[in-house]
């Protein structure tokens, strides 16, 4: 889930796969305030263009996913991947 959010925010360079990678990335950012600032600027810029920050549509699609999950659960169907068409 968090990987999807990082990508959706336009910051895939923050994606890590292990605790060690996470710690390494945190140290890198703490030791390089210019890199951290660049990421902050990128995030602030992306908030106007990235779909993640389009709250109205994000909520609409999230609610659609919840509805599909509920239908699966109540119907007794086996779990299957949920796809929401944007």
Task: Please state, in angstroms and rounded to a whole number, the distance separating the CA atoms of residues 32 and 54.
Answer: 30
SS3 state of residue 8: helix
Instruction: Find out whether 27 and 35 touch, Cβ atoms under 8 Å.
Output: no
- Angle between the 33-46 and 19-31 helix axes, to the nearest 10 degrees? 100
Confidence of residue 58 (pLDDT cuts 50, 70, 90): confident
pTM > 0.75: yes or no = no
Mean pLDDT of the region 52-73: 89
Alpha-carbon Rg for the chain in angstroms: 17
Q: How far apart are the first and last CA of the chain?
A: 18
pLDDT tens digit string along 26-53? Answer: 999 999 999 999 999 999 988 888 877 8
The answer on pLDDT for 1 being more than 70 is: no
Contact indicator for 9, 43 with CB cutoff of 8 Å: yes
């Amino acid at each position: 889930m968090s990987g999807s959010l990082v990508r959706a925010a336009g910051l895939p360079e923050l994606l890590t796969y292990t605790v060690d990678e996470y710690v390494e990335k945190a140290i890198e950012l703490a030791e390089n305030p210019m890199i951290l600032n660049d990421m902050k600027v990128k995030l602030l810029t992306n908030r106007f263009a990235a779909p993640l920050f389009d709250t109205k549509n994000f909520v609409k699609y999230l609610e659609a996913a919840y509805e599909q999950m509920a239908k699966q659960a109540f119907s007794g169907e086996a779990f299957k991947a949920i796809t929401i068409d944007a």
